[in-house]
Amino acid sequence: MASVEIRHKPHAICIPYSAQGHIAPMLKLAKLLHFNGFHITFVNTKYNHRRHLKSRRPASLDSLSSFRFETIPDGLPSSDANATQDIPTISSSILRNCLEPFKKLLLKLLKDLNAPPVTWIVSDISMIFTWDASKELGIPMVLLWTASASAFLGYTQYRHLIDEGIVPLKGHIAPMLKLAKLLHFNGFHITFVNTKYNHRRLLKSRGPASLDSLSSFRFETIPDGLPSSDANATQDIPTISSSILRNCLEPFKKLLLKLLKDLNAPPVTWIVSDISMIFTWDASKELGIPMVLLWTASASAFLGYTQYRHLIDEGIVPLKGTIRSLS
């Protein structure tokens, strides 16, 4: 059993997204927390843990009893490749397969008498499933957003962009609707798919018959997996993100199959998906429908990316070093 002193240490579970540009910043944060008295459990996928060991040596992660490494599966077939995995594929797999292994690991750590009790989860903001584990097990959580220096530079210009009337570019639905209108103007038949919640909000704001004017521009809905609500506000982002990724794939596939059989409309030739709706990737692959992604980046973030070459030339970025041994 651990000593009384060790048992009273704060214990942080640090879990990065499965890409080097996310792992390195999380590891740096974990080292800072450890330096300031935290017991650390660093959770990698098995794939990235194996890459780490290959780049160092088999015992390189065993030097400190108060800084431990654990692994969870990412849901993909085993591979000996030594490269960042395909981002859409790994993102979809992580969000569908990692919740239960992560909860199982947390329960094991909560019962471990040789380590302090778990007091915090420090999660990459992209690992949405950790939100469910945190709520279910009652463990406080903080999120790490590994924004690049160029994006941060862009956000410092946000006040100027607002003053000039360039932003805000509202959310995700409005840009997608603008793109759909442009495609329709150029001859496309459009099926615009909203969640039932957002479709209801749209009808409230425009009138019950406002979306029925064009047979070649149709609206369809899928459930978002949350309880029905008459609220007229943007839903809680972590909650709706988690629910959509867990619950929307099957309704979306069912809708696509219905549209593919619809003799009163052209065959479905493309899916244009918001980059955050990762489940559409699985539907696209399963049904063989080509897909393009829309990234609704803000003007400030875009401005940041235009400065990236300057930041590289000045040696400010990339902030993406290799994972270093703790020894």
The owner of tokens 């052209």 is: 266
Catalytic residue chosen out of the listed positions 11, 39, 52, 124: 124
Distance CA 326, CA 94 (A): 27
Q: Could you give the CA distance from residue 294 to residue 264 in angstroms, rounded to a whole number? A: 27
Residue 8 annotated among the catalytic residues of the structure: no
Q: Is 160 a catalytic residue?
A: no
User: For residues 139 and 103, is the Cβ–Cβ distance under 8 A?
Assistant: no
Q: Which single residue is written with the structure tokens 């809905």? A: 221
Residues forming beta bridges with residue 120, ordered by sequence position: 12
Residues with Cβ within 8 Å of 49's Cβ and at least 6 positions away in sequence, in order, are 69, 71
> Helix/strand/coil (H, E, C) string of the chain?
CCCHHHHCCCEEEEECCCCHHHHHHHHHHHHHHHHCCCEEEEEEEHHHHHHHHHHCCCCCCCCCCCEEEEEECCCCCCCCCCCCCCHHHHHHHHHHHCHHHHHHHHHHHHCCCCCCCCCEEEEECCCCHHHHHHHHHCCCEEEECCCCHHHHHHHCCHHHHHHCCCCCCCCCHHHHHHHHHHHHHCCCCEEEEEEHHHHHHHHHHHCCCCCCCCCCEEEEEECCCCCCCCCCCCCCHHHHHHHHHHHCHHHHHHHHHHHHCCCCCCCCCCEEEECCCCHHHHHHHHHCCCEEEECCCCHHHHHHHHCHHHHHHCCCCCCCCCCCCCC
Active-site residue, from 11, 22, 34, 39: 22
Active site (catalytic) residues? 22, 124
